[in-house]
Structure 1
């Protein structure tokens, strides 16, 4: 299939001559040399490169930077908090030096309207700061991630971040009402609206959310807020199997409607890894279960939380869906149960995965996938699997690790085959090889392999129209020719 995106080699470097011209159009100190943190990504797969880092303080400055880069055909890598896990925030070796465009100085609150359940913020505001601003106005911004103290709202929207509350509130895309975006040529789309309904043609907002900085640079967003539930109820429950966990979710939803805020699946390996990584956290069970779920309910004032959970637990236990459980009796205990779940990725990092997978499956296919994937991997080698994630929305983090007495390096020759086994099975079952982390640079080959040809052609066409010179985050989402 022809690729209309110009090759990377057609771009020019972010060299001293270009930077001298760019500096004349910007306030002093907007440009600085790259620092190590600008060139890193959390999993350490790639080391980035850049001629400089631009730190604009306004949308006008972002526009001026993009106009200059477009005119000079210089690549731009938009950067938020740098917490993405698929390499979308770095350009590694090969091709002309890019300019990093950091939104860190654009972190202002543009406005908040509690009576409308709406907030408008600049793209560089951290997710945690957005949550705090909402809380200060008696509202909830429900997007929640382990990296929320560093991740920025622009990056969250650019990757369509998911997190732990998607079951009730949706992905980042579902929380976005409007955007302000600087396009590749520096033109600014003033779409920062607060409307719930706007049926006026193609949905540019939803196209730019999830585009990973490859179609435009998000500079500000208007977001949905929600009332804070009167009661927060958190429990960790041991279950017989993933299938039983799904039956338990259906029971909770049948009894509570849309009041289930989070429903996380945790395998025995997750608890074992916490101990192995010496993180000071342990499962709240006398004996480790093979499977457990972490449940959070957000209940209205009229519902008595302890009685509600007791009745649900009794019904689930009677149906054989729960083997044991701990119900938090305070906010601190609830936070402690969540701390166990949120520490699993850090335990994984310390142990060192052979391969990590962020996958999405039809809910009914999850138990079969877990059983089949384990068998296929066992035929390839001696692996440990830590399977955990957002069971309520079908998103699993299916990570493969060395046997206890072996190192990750011993499996390097098997890493690609292991990933192919997992992704092929996901594709066979009608799932997605990227649930919430995006494509970045890590999964461009997967998108080409598993993507629908008609859709891929449309994606390339959209990229060619909105970024005809291919300067925005080249190599992210859509693979491009090197020469």
Structure 2
């Protein structure tokens, strides 16, 4: 079938205005956030209902038409970007943005996949509840994409990632069949957990169209502090103190290299130096109390007093109000964006056992500097759950493209160190196109074979996000 004839059939399903063929309007859908991949598409398909998604996928299966589901296009591994010259149609969920129900008694929220994460936060706040997933891109990221990549964010330490924050899903299968799994139960041991197959599958098994999300009571007290430490080993010892003193109230523990502070102060409006005297490394400690503000403040004060008495912390500041608490988090969440004006950046989203973070950092730093003298290593991330964003900015004045051309060479070395410490090459961003071939090389053959079998069972026509996560079989 020709593109024109196929597009006409999609128009019959969605209406002409919801099938976008103007290539100028395609620009925001065909590039990844890091500028590494650019795709092509005959059209952007914009369904407004689950039934329309089902009709799209049924037609796509019948005509062997590749479909690339896309949320807010904030993913970092190009899983949401169409390929070049292969007739991939982008299926955008942006029109499916209705919050269907908010139940503060059952502590659940039911929403469609195209709902922006910050809108979910707002809906939860209106009933005095919390949805804890927090990301730097939460103003544009859509919950369907968060689910499809099993996003983590800054509160995994206390609340878990999207698998822990989701009770049920509605999914359209590649055949056009609809699975209504929008269950609100916290206990349900009736057979295979299909929900967990689709969460983290990056749109390769079907299209998530709605979800039941867990809500939590809003903390009565909240306090944030920033502390300066000598190195990751000192940060690890501080984490032990914070864990012991904070217990379940410890909701965030972030580590940041000094250069990351430099970049954010230099390039992000409104960000200021957090401490009077610059420190080699910084830690952000976030405490949420269930009873009152004074409890959160007492926990933070106790953590810092013990750390100062042991010489672990050189300087620290406790937020004086909510504005300052938000400012500290804004500084941390802006670090990736702040690297862009500094030129090329080779980024890694890795996890290692928490106790191995200092050793990993030291070994990776030595390896990178040996390969690329003058490289500026901007490491930061969720130390509390072992997830480090190990980013490398180009040497000052270096050629950006020549630097980026070494992405896979450098990543292979960094990821080898990660694996030597029993870690993962993808902690929360997914596999997509960027890490697909590496996944095939490092996973046991039986694991890849099982994934391929699952893919074939759910998507016999091979239309769902082809060549993402898994290499094409055969």
Category of TM-score, reference length = shorter chain: over 0.9
| Deviation for aligned residue 1:38 | 1.8
Question: Corresponding residue for 2:368?
Answer: 377
Q: Equivalent residue of 1:304, what SS? A: helix
Q: Are 2:463 and 1:471 aligned?
A: yes
Aligned equivalent of 1:74, options 61, 65, 76: 65
Task: Structure 1: state its 5+ residue gaps.
Answer: 1-11
Greater relative CO, 1 or 2 (CA 8 Å, sep 6+): 1
Aligned equivalent of 1:409, options 401, 406, 409: 401
Partners of 2:153 and 2:301 in 1: CA distance: 27
Partners of 1:449 and 1:94 in 2: CA distance: 26
Tell me the TM-score normalized by structure 2. Answer: 0.96
Partners of 1:54 and 1:91 in 2: CA distance: 13
| Deviation for aligned residue 1:261 | 1.0
- More deviation in 246-255 or 184-193? 246-255
Partners of 1:146 and 1:235 in 2: CA distance: 19
Verify the 8 A CA contact 1:176 1:223 in the aligned structure 2.
yes
Partners of 2:7 and 2:301 in 1: CA distance: 65
Aligned equivalent of 1:389, options 368, 381, 390: 381
Verify the 8 A CA contact 1:210 1:438 in the aligned structure 2.
yes
Partners of 1:74 and 1:128 in 2: CA distance: 33
Partners of 1:39 and 1:317 in 2: CA distance: 50
Q: Matches of residues 246-395 of structure 1 in structure 2 within 5 Å? A: 246-277=236-267, 279-302=269-292, 303-382=294-373, 383-395=375-387
Verify the 8 A CA contact 2:378 2:390 in the aligned structure 1.
yes
Ranges of 4+ aligned residues in structure 1 off by more than 4 Å? none
Partners of 1:163 and 1:413 in 2: CA distance: 29
Q: Equivalent residue of 1:178, what SS? A: strand
Tell me the TM-score normalized by structure 1. Answer: 0.94
Q: Are 2:31 and 1:31 aligned?
A: no
Output the aligned Cα RMSD. Answer: 1.6
Question: Corresponding residue for 2:216?
Answer: 226
Question: Corresponding residue for 1:21?
Answer: 9
Deviations 1:430-456 (A, max 9, x none): 111111100011110110121122111
Q: Give the direction of change, closer, same or farther, for the CA distance of 1:117–1:344 in structure 2 (3 Å limit).
A: same
Q: Equivalent residue of 2:256, what SS? A: strand
Verify the 8 A CA contact 2:265 2:273 in the aligned structure 1.
no
Verify the 8 A CA contact 1:140 1:227 in the aligned structure 2.
yes
Q: Matches of residues 408-447 of structure 1 in structure 2 within 5 Å? A: 408-447=400-439
| Deviation for aligned residue 1:406 | 2.4
Q: Equivalent residue of 1:29, what SS? A: helix
| Deviation for aligned residue 1:281 | 2.1
Question: Corresponding residue for 2:453?
Answer: 461
Aligned residues, how many? 469
Question: Corresponding residue for 1:104?
Answer: 94
Q: Matches of residues 81-120 of structure 1 in structure 2 within 5 Å? A: 81-95=72-86, 97-120=87-110
Verify the 8 A CA contact 2:148 2:200 in the aligned structure 1.
yes
